[in-house]
């Protein structure tokens, strides 16, 4: 088996094309917020090990302990980064327990995460996905206590990857990674597709699990009807501004999924919707 390290991957992607030393990007995704020292401690550890790494903050405002939200955010943005980026993701309600810590790759990107389903979204997009258990204590810090593995385990793992450590040096290959049960949309009858709200962004836009790929080729966006909480939206818009201020609009969002928004307002508030709210697309 080939040793999968950051130097080999970057050597094939960036350096060979530009003849320049590739940037070592580590992207952080956590539910730590910014009021405490947690994120800064992770960055400090990364800089100590990989002093020339470029650290990018995806977000630290994931709802506390919300693994599904973290998985969705990661899946929605990871391909916007250059190949070779290391994603260090810590939303970890099971910290300090026997749950595993993972280092994974899809052949283009690297992922560091607790084994709790956070990598479900990116794995679903990959043709191949190799996962290793982080077990090598030489690549960890000796922390005080067991409740801050973001600093003691995950940050060092990301930094050592950036410095060229192959994944095999971290631990054994895993084939039974924990996966979230994310229900796909279902056809309830001819011309009716039932889905649900998967994520709500800070504007109150409802992002569903329905994508254009779930629909027939002859789908007519103008005649479609979206039904949610006894409200009906006729036709798909191009975006928010296609409807009057405060009105609801359904459209294909930037993630390729069906979204519902209110122009200059919050669809989540207007519809009193939450994660899991059912939706029907009638066509």
Residue 15 confidence (pLDDT): 41
User: What is the average pLDDT across 146-170?
Assistant: 97
Residue 144 confidence (pLDDT): 87
Q: Which residue has the tokens 């940037």?
A: 23
Q: Which conformational region is residue 271 in: left (phi greater than 0), alpha (psi within -120 to 50 degrees), or beta?
A: alpha
How many CB atoms are located within 10 Å of the residue 30 CB?
23
Q: How far is residue 114's CA from residue 121's CA, in Å, rounded to a whole number?
A: 14
- Say which CATH topology domain 186-282 has: Elongation Factor Tu (Ef-tu); domain 3 (2.40.30)
What are the b/e assignments for 127-164, b being 16+ CB within 10 Å?
A: eebbbbbbebeebbbeeeeeebbbbbbbbbbbbbbbbe
Q: What is the pLDDT of residues 64-102, one digit of tens each?
A: 999 999 999 999 999 999 999 999 999 999 999 999 999
Q: Inform me whether the pLDDT recorded for 5 exceeds 70.
A: no
- Say which CATH topology domain 6-174 has: Rossmann fold (3.40.50)
Q: What is the pLDDT of residues 100-109, one digit of tens each?
A: 999 999 999 9
Residue 10 confidence (pLDDT): 46
Residue 22 banded pLDDT, cuts 50, 70, 90 = low
Q: What is the pLDDT of residues 175-200, one digit of tens each?
A: 999 999 998 999 887 899 999 999 99
User: The tokens of 115 are what?
Assistant: 């084994």
Residue 4 confidence (pLDDT): 58
Residues of the chain within CATH 3.40.50.10790 domain(s) are 6-174
Residue 17 confidence (pLDDT): 46
Residues of the chain within CATH 2.40.30.90 domain(s) are 186-282
User: What is the average pLDDT across 9-20?
Assistant: 46
Residue 18 confidence (pLDDT): 44
Residue % of the chain over a pLDDT of 90: 88
Judged by average pLDDT, the poorest of 22-26, 192-196, 208-212 is 22-26
Residue 19 banded pLDDT, cuts 50, 70, 90 = low
Note the helical H segments in the chain. Answer: 6-10, 16-18, 38-49, 67-77, 120-124, 149, 155-162, 267-271
Judged by average pLDDT, the poorest of 13-27, 170-184, 249-263 is 13-27
């Amino acid at each position: 088996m080939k040793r999968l390290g950051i130097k080999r991957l970057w050597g094939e992607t960036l350096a060979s094309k530009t003849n320049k030393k590739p940037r070592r990007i580590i992207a952080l995704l956590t539910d730590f917020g910014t009021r405490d020292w947690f994120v800064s401690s992770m960055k400090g550890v990364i800089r100590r090990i990989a002093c020339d790494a470029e650290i990018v903050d995806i977000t630290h405002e994931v709802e506390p302990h919300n693994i599904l939200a973290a998985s969705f955010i990661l899946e929605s943005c990871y391909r916007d980064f250059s190949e070779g980026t290391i994603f260090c993701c810590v939303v970890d309600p099971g910290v300090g327990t026997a749950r595993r810590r993972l280092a994974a790759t899809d052949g283009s990107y690297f992922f560091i995460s607790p084994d709790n389903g956070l990598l479900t979204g990116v794995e679903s997009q990959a043709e191949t996905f190799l996962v290793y258990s982080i077990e090598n204590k030489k690549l960890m810090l000796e922390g005080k206590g067991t409740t801050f593995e973001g600093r003691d385990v995950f940050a060092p793992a990301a930094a050592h990857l950036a410095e060229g450590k192959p994944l095999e040096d971290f631990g054994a290959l895993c084939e039974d990674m924990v996966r979230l049960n994310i229900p796909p949309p279902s056809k309830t009858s001819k011309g009716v597709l039932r889905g649900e709200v998967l994520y709500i962004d800070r504007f109150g836009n409802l992002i569903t699990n329905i994508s254009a790929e779930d629909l027939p080729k002859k789908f007519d966006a103008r005649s479609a009807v979206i039904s949610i909480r006894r409200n009906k939206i006729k036709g798909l818009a191009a975006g928010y501004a296609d409807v009057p201020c405060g009105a609801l609009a359904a459209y294909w969002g930037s993630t390729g999924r069906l979204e519902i928004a209110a122009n200059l307002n919050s669809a989540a508030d207007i519809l009193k919707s939450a994660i899991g709210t059912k939706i029907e697309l009638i066509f």
